[in-house]
Amino acid sequence: MSDRVDEPAKQDSAGSEELLREHAYDGIQEYDNPLPGWWVWTWILSIVFCFPYVVFYHGADGRSLEDEYEQEVADFADMLLATYGELQPDEETIRRYMSDDVAMAGMKSLFKSKCTQCHKADGTGLVGPNLTDDAWINVKVLTDLPKVLEQGVVPKGMPAWGSQFSTTQIVLMSAYVASLRADPKPGKAAQGEAIPPWAAGLAGS
């Protein structure tokens, strides 16, 4: 047990204005020396700051490190678009680019920036349909995808992207949307009719 001895507050031998506390434990006294004001306020402000930080980066549109990485990949993919030339919206081309990791990473970022409001970032559907299941409304074969993207489905609220995307972007986005079917996720209930698989060997078919 500690032997506590209460003593009157006093100055140290050097005459410092920092008073010793009135009690002693095991013969040891401590200064009544609070932390510097700047340190205390830094600590308080860091606690206050954490709440909007968490809301912004975890519950709103704040960009995480993963988002920044995806944006860098998307920017790199945009640089590569010139090397792709003008792609044709045929079935063979769409299938080929479904397995192009760099192109799909770029389209993933573009999809998140343009299509999230209707289809959610993972494609599981919000206002628009779930793009990861096997039921589709306006698409029966792969080559329907670029047509829907280019012309839109105006009565249903989907804009025509042909005026904003190049033909190459339309083809690559078609490949990305088609690839979502390879990773089915729970989401909005199926809409439309079940359609055949895109190609043999693809998951989700």
For residue 184, the SS3 value is: coil
Displacement of CA 165 from its chain's centroid (Å): 22
Q: From CA 16, how far away is CA 203, in angstroms rounded?
A: 77
Q: Residues 29-53: pLDDT tens digits?
A: 777 777 889 999 999 999 999 888 8
Side chain identity at residue 99, one-letter code: S
Q: From CA 169, how far away is CA 110, in angstroms rounded?
A: 10
Q: Residues 88-146: pLDDT tens digits?
A: 999 999 999 998 888 888 888 889 888 988 999 899 999 899 999 999 999 999 999 99
What length is written for the chain? 205
CB of 148 within 8 A of CB of 158?
A: yes
CB of 148 within 8 A of CB of 139?
A: yes
Which of these, 108, 43, 97, lies nearest to 74 by C-alpha position? 108
Q: Which two tokens stand for residue 93?
A: 């081309």
Fold of 65-194: Cytochrome Bc1 Complex; Chain D, domain 2 (1.10.760)
